[in-house]
Structure 1
Amino acid sequence: MDLEILTLLPDTSQVKERLLQQTEITIERALTVDAKKRRDWQGVAFSSIFLCATGGLVFEAVDTGGAAWWLTVPALLTGLLTWSGFAQSFPKKLRDVNDIPVNPATAEEPKKSDPAPEGSG
């Protein structure tokens, strides 16, 4: 959209230069920051396990004809854990080496390994 507007503006327009700069910033961010975003696949795997457990509990509660109605309580708990796990792990986010989401504005470049302190080892 911005590129279409950019081509329609005359070369002498002051807005054209600002729009060009903004477009370059957007493209640069897409190539750098967005390329580093990733999912927490370990969290997705754990959430999938909880999803199976929730399904099994619900199935057993229904299959017994209501005799095991109390299984709906742990099913509710595992269902909440499943939802929470998928909500935290599946979206692509900037993450540190431990797959913990970081704020892009405060993210630091990974530090090179510091030498071991003297006397250790």
Structure 2
Amino acid sequence: MSLLPADSELVPELRAHIEDSIRSMIQVEDEKRRDPFGIALAIVFILIAGGLVAASVLNGGWYWWLTVPGAVTGIFGIAGLAQDATKRTRDERGRPMVE
């Protein structure tokens, strides 16, 4: 605004537009939240996956089959963590709303 002339008729409109934009940004940021239950569940899945993979590596033999459920559980855990740790507008149950 300092680049505009002081007597410009656009200064009040520009100032009002900037203030409205900032107000709407603050309101949207206040509405966005993370899902703590989903984050905790995803971390549990990742820990279970790590335990399964560790058991398969340490024991060898037929225990190598534990890497399959460990990988699947780990994929679900990582996907859940990516979805629930991201700040989004959510409904009462914590599900992300379409923006």
Place the TM-score, normalised by the shorter chain, in its bin.
0.7 to 0.9
Is the aligned partner of 1:86 residue 2:78? no
Partner of 1:71: 66
Q: What is the one-letter code of the residue matched to 2:18?
A: T
Which of 83, 90, 94 pairs up with 1:95? Answer: 90
SS in 2 for 1:35: helix
Coordinate RMSD, CA, aligned:
1.9
Partner of 2:36: 41
Mark the CA change 1:18 to 1:79 in structure 2 (over 3 Å): closer, same or farther. farther
Q: What is the one-letter code of the residue matched to 1:43?
A: G
Post-superposition Cα deviations, 1:22-75, rounded to whole Å, max 9, x if no partner, equal 422321122211111100111001001101101101100110135411111001
TM-score by length of 2: 0.84
Mark the CA change 1:67 to 1:18 in structure 2 (over 3 Å): closer, same or farther. farther
Counterpart CA distance in 1 for 2:13 and 2:72 is 52
Aligned length: 98
Q: What is the one-letter code of the residue matched to 1:77?
A: V
Counterpart CA distance in 2 for 1:22 and 1:79 is 47
Structure number with higher helix proportion? 2
Counterpart CA distance in 2 for 1:71 and 1:88 is 26
Q: Which runs of 5+ in 1 are unaligned?
A: 1-5, 105-121
SS in 2 for 1:30: helix
SS in 2 for 1:57: helix
